[in-house]
Amino acid sequence: MDAFPTATLRSMKRSSDIGRTGTLAVTGGTPLRGRVRVGGSKNAALPMLAAALLTDGPTTLRRVPDLTDTGLMLELLRGLGASVEDDRGTVRIDAAHVRPGDRPFEPSPGRVAAMRGAVCLLGPLLARCAMSGGGSVRLATVGGCDLGPRPIDRHLAAFEALGATVARDHGGVTVSVDRLRGAEIYLSAPPAPGLPPAPTVTGTANALCAAAIADGVSVLHGAAREPEVVAVGELLNAAGARIEGLGTDVLTVTGVRRLRGVSGRCPAAVVPGDRIEAATWMIAAAATGGRIVVDGVEPSEVAAVAAALRASGARVSICGSAGHRSIRVDSCGRPTAFEVRSAAFPGLPTDVLPQLAALAAVADGTSLLTDDVFPDRNAHLSRLPRFHASVERAGATAVITGGDLHGGEVHAPDLRAAAALLIAALAAEGSSRIGRASVLLRGYERPAEKLRALGATLGAPNWRVGKRPAARPGRGGWRPAGPRRILGRTRPVSPETSACSALA
């Protein structure tokens, strides 16, 4: 097996990978090669941090990623009265002083407006009110990426089913409760007219937190099966909750009176690896003609992404032993056109469709990418043509005809669009500048350092330069430039001496 350089990354300060300018300069045309370890999952860490408000004693979480959004969540918890200690990814939360008073719980409206993940506080705070004999929670209108309509109606309907009262106004929502009582809760609904029903991930996490201390038994129908929901449920069970059916679309919750604190030594206190970050590096390797190994994520959680990459001609395999498995991606030459459609887990995540659009922009032929989860998610599609990509849209489907990309200047509108534009810049010939690139820090832990360790050429004022690997990776692979030809090593990877298998 080839030796891959490993980037050793330590976070001393949250979100310090980019400076105030927010502009990233990229020189494309170099295949990504090496080894990269993903951080903890943002989409699991946020509801897990919020769920720590439910426990009577201190709860310690490990592998909390160093992100703008997790930093905002920690500030929200402090503002609510929790004691929060943060030491390089190990976060200790003591919610002993988080109690309802004469006024509703109200997380900082300014921070709530900056992050949609703040909605994860509703369920735990409502449960905290019920544990104390009653109270209310006021949540301002949540912010986050503009992906089209993302109402929280199903969250509120779940709370109402459990016995809460909901009052809406133009500035947000107020949820009040005296006691929570077990109920039948239905969480799945079509994301848009004409589309099949889909579950809500944050809505499922909110309902779990509230139902965990409700009187009696609750059954959650149409629950999200995503690994992030499983992580929240396992943390609650470690605290004493009684949740059955995690990983399925029907969850049964038998309410308990109190939840105890969870030690950082407990396996359930470890935030799982970020499958969206892993997918992003996998797709970037395929788009640049590269060859990488991704560590720190459960391979089964990116199986749908692996299938999409195989459809584009890449080779994806698992290496290593149980508990220490890695994912190897080899582009095997220029990508070919493919068709994909987003779906709830275990289907293809909507959060990787923008990155796959960048891959389609350099593939031979015309690719079709359909987003049934967020059909109005198109900010990345309107910006890829800045790199000379050919993009059309037909309803929820993006029609992308691949070709040679060339450097361009563009501003990133949201987190995953920024990742897509970064991949396009890495695959393009020449230099590019991505404005507002700091949005990447909402979901990617030290992205510039990781990419530099894989051989990417990045440079921008105030971006900290990460430690270079001892030996720079070779420049084999294809370069998306000039006449559409394959350069360098494009032969399939020979069988490895270590245990490797096709990714199921």
- Residues forming the active site: 145
CB 145 within 8 A of CB 120: no
CA distances from 193 to 155, 185, 272, 340, 375 (A): 19, 22, 34, 21, 10
Phi, psi dihedral angles at 345 (to 5 degrees): -55, 135
Helix (H) / strand (E) element for 328: namely strand 326-330
Cα separations in angstroms, 449 against 134, 181, 249, 278: 48, 49, 38, 15
Can you give 1-23 as a three-state secondary structure string? CCCCCECCCCCCCCCCCCCCCCC
C-alpha distance across the termini of the chain, in Å: 21
Tokens at residue 68, please?
């703008």
**How far is it, in rounded angstroms, from Cα 48 to Cα 183?**
23
CB 503 within 8 A of CB 326: no
Q: What ranges make up the beta strands (E) of 192-281? A: 217-221, 242-244, 250-254
3-state helix, strand, coil in the chain (%, to 5): 30, 25, 45
Among all chains, which residue has been given the structure tokens 């449920």?
Answer: 233
Structure tokens at 187: 């969480």
- Alpha-carbon distance 309 to 292, whole Å? 13
37, 281 contact by CB (below 8 A): no
Taking alpha carbons only, the member of 383, 354, 417, 388 closest to residue 481 is: 388
Peptide bond into 346 cis (omega under 30): yes
Angle at 146 between CA 447 and CA 288, to 5 degrees: 35
